[in-house]
Structure 1
Amino acid sequence: MTFSIVGRDGDAYGVAVASKFLAVGSAVPAARAGLGAVATQAYANLAYRGAGLALLAAGATSAETVQRLTDDDEGRDDRQVGVVSGSGGTSFTGPSCHAWAGGRAGDDYAVQGNILVGEQVVEAMEAAWASSAGQPLVRRLLAALSAGDAAGGDRRGRQSAALLVGRPGAGYGGDDTEYDLRVDDHPDPVPELVKLVDLHDLYFGEPDADALLPLEGAVADEVRALLAKLGHAGDDLDALLDTWAGSANFEMRLRPGSIDPVVLDQLRLGRT
């Protein structure tokens, strides 16, 4: 009833998943920066998430982790699980999973799905992962999920999708959770998930240091006038920007004495 990918990029690990299932993100994904990622599905054993990460933390390979998880589970024939770590990716599909069910795995990924329209779903996901090499992990995961969705995905239909990525220090306030986004109930959840990632990057993305504009001259005059229109009048532009950004949720893009062109565009749009 689900298709997913677990993938890695250096110390970053993530999961992208979609299903005809309410709030699939509450059940399937687990990921930890610098360690690995797990996707548990079909008749999902949610204990696989914590237990899988614990096994990886204890030094088990992805293959050993899957072997241990399934050996200790009497319901393994109905389960499906994908694990990726520094040792590579491993995908397991129990023989009693509803057709079509299966998976693929490589050095830095594992894709798997059950109750799919056919094997073409995981084939498309694997191909999209390969062709997106060099892009950020989040975009590679989305590319694979979108390809699986376009290939037909879950044969029962669409309902939810989710994305979880851990990267050391890349989350809000220096947390290791870079992305944790869910579309719990939507007629077209995968494109909606892509929209959420785009919004996340708008609000929380790192500004390009080479593109920052000094707050002086004509730039400073424009920024002061735009802020005044939004009710933030005064002389200290850094303080005014800080006040505005705190309400508009762009504080992660602020840098003293300069302005991110992305932020300037939002000011021009009158974002409050």
Structure 2
Amino acid sequence: MTFSIAARDADAWGVAVASKFLAVGSVVPRVVLGHCAIATQAMARVAYLDELEAALRAGTPTAEALAAALAGDDGGAHRQVGVVGPDGPATHTGAECLHWAGGRTGAEGRSAYAIQGNILVGPQVVEAMETAWHEHAGAPLDERLVAVLLAGDAAGGDARGRQSAALLVRRPGAGYDASGVLADLRVDDHPEAPHELARLHQLSSLYFGTAQDVRPLEGPLRAEVAALLAAVGHAPVSDDVEAALEAWMGEANLENRHASGGIDTRVLGVLRDGLPTGP
């Protein structure tokens, strides 16, 4: 009833998941920087999250940690688990998981993934997810996982339909307060949950990301920005466009993207088109 990817890329760790199941993000993912990304699903045993995290923190190899968790569970034949630890990935699909069910793993350098799904339309779902993982190499892990999830959905996803999706990604120093949370998003009940998750991710990256592509506030661009600020009630005083821009960005919750002497291109897009609102 679920398809997911648990992954690591350099110092970033994360899980993306979608399902015809209410609030799948409350059950499936666990991400701990430097130690693990875990997805527990099918007849999910949430206790696996604590057990696997503890084993991986203690230095147990990933495959051994997963085998030990399964050995202590009489219902292992009904479970599906994907886990990435410091030494690589492992995935398990119990023999009694509902058709179609299966998974794939891969690793290269400091990058690794475990992709798995059950009650899918067919193996093409995990195949498409794996292809998307490789096609988006080099992208930030949160963007990469969203692309993987959308690829699985486009390939048919959960055979019963859509209901919920979630994305949890951690990277050192990331997030609004630099606490390491790059993305923590859930869509608990929505008819197009994977696409709604992607929309929320775009908003999250806008509001909580930092300035990436900064253009100097000079010449025609400076005049354009001054006019746009005036249109939203922040007309520059004494031609101090920088101060007016900073004040507006604080009001619009875009302060993380402030860049001295310039304007981030996504902020410029918001000024030109307005703040994103609905789907």
**TM-score, with structure 2 as normaliser:** 0.88
Choose the corresponding residue for 1:193, options 190, 194, 197. 197
**In structure 2, what residue type is equivalent to 1:53?**
E
Q: How far apart are 1:90 and its partner, in Å?
A: 0.3
Q: Residues 237 and 2 from structure 1, CA distance in 2 versus in 1: closer, same or farther, beyond 3 angstroms?
A: same
Q: Aligned partners of 1:92 and 1:244: how far apart in 2?
A: 50
**Structure 1: which 4+ aligned runs deviate by more than 6 Å?**
none
Match status 1:155 vs 2:159 = yes
The aligned residue for residue 146 of structure 1 is 150
Equivalence map 1:1-272=2 (5 Å): 1-107=1-107, 108-208=112-212, 211-216=213-218, 218-233=220-235, 234-235=237-238, 236-271=240-275
Q: Aligned partners of 2:274 and 2:21: how far apart in 1?
A: 38
After superposition, the CA RMSD in angstroms is 2.1
User: What per-residue deviation string (whole Å, max 9, x for no partner) do you get for residues 24-43 of structure 1?
Assistant: 11111111222220000011
User: What per-residue deviation string (whole Å, max 9, x for no partner) do you get for residues 220-253 of structure 1?
Assistant: 4443333233222434544433332122121110
SS in 1 for 2:260: coil
Contact 2:142-2:182 within 8 A present in 1 as well: no
Q: How many residue pairs end up in the alignment?
A: 270
Q: Aligned partners of 2:123 and 2:227: how far apart in 1?
A: 57
User: What per-residue deviation string (whole Å, max 9, x for no partner) do you get for residues 161-187 of structure 1?
Assistant: 111111111111102110111221111
| Identical columns (%) | 57
Contact 1:230-1:270 within 8 A present in 2 as well: no
Q: Aligned partners of 2:275 and 2:121: how far apart in 1?
A: 43
Q: Residues 6 and 226 from structure 1, CA distance in 2 versus in 1: closer, same or farther, beyond 3 angstroms?
A: same
Q: How far apart are 1:145 and its partner, in Å?
A: 1.7
Q: Aligned partners of 1:131 and 1:204: how far apart in 2?
A: 25
* Bigger mean CA deviation after superposition, 34-43 or 132-141: 132-141
Unaligned residue ranges in structure 2 (runs of 5+): none
**In structure 2, what residue type is equivalent to 1:98?**
L
Q: Residues 43 and 265 from structure 1, CA distance in 2 versus in 1: closer, same or farther, beyond 3 angstroms?
A: same
Q: Aligned partners of 2:227 and 2:138: how far apart in 1?
A: 41
Contact 2:175-2:209 within 8 A present in 1 as well: no
Q: How far apart are 1:218 and its partner, in Å?
A: 4.6
Unaligned residue ranges in structure 1 (runs of 5+): none
Q: Aligned partners of 1:164 and 1:130: how far apart in 2?
A: 20
**TM-score, with structure 1 as normaliser:** 0.90
SS in 2 for 1:129: helix
Contact 1:37-1:85 within 8 A present in 2 as well: yes
Q: Aligned partners of 2:2 and 2:155: how far apart in 1?
A: 13
Q: How far apart are 1:130 and its partner, in Å?
A: 2.6
Q: How far apart are 1:153 and its partner, in Å?
A: 1.5
**In structure 1, what residue type is equivalent to 2:104?**
R
Q: How far apart are 1:152 and its partner, in Å?
A: 1.6
Q: Residues 219 and 143 from structure 1, CA distance in 2 versus in 1: closer, same or farther, beyond 3 angstroms?
A: closer
Q: Aligned partners of 2:48 and 2:203: how far apart in 1?
A: 31
